[in-house]
Amino acid sequence: MTNLIEESIEEHHDQLKSKVAGYCGCAQCKDDVVTMALNQIRPRYTSGARRGSVVTRAELQHDQARAEIMVVVLEAMRRVAAAPRHLPKA
């Protein structure tokens, strides 16, 4: 079973992590961003390589779906950057 939204959020995170001032992108911050974003977007689960998986993946490629995910990920990055849960880098 796979949550396709989680895959998409992680892809967006990797593309955007250098664009948010003050966001370090360490494993703890990435986990916090992914968790925060997942809690904001309806999950889309699939199992195996069934037709539903192909349809759902296609839906996630639409500009509106991608934009929604991007906005949620950027907001999560801003929130995590403002209050990271790890010690500052030395």
The pLDDT tens digits for 23-75 are 999 999 999 999 999 999 988 777 766 545 554 665 666 778 888 999 999 99
Ramachandran region, residue 88 (left: φ > 0; alpha: ψ -120 to 50; beta: rest)? beta
Break the chain into its structural domains and give their ranges. Answer: 2-82
DSSP string, the chain: -EEHHHHHHHHHHHHHGGGSTT----HHHHHHHHHHHHTTS---EE-TT-HHHHHHHHHHTSHHHHHHHHHHHHHHHHHHHHS-SSPPP-
Q: What is the pTM of this model?
A: 0.81
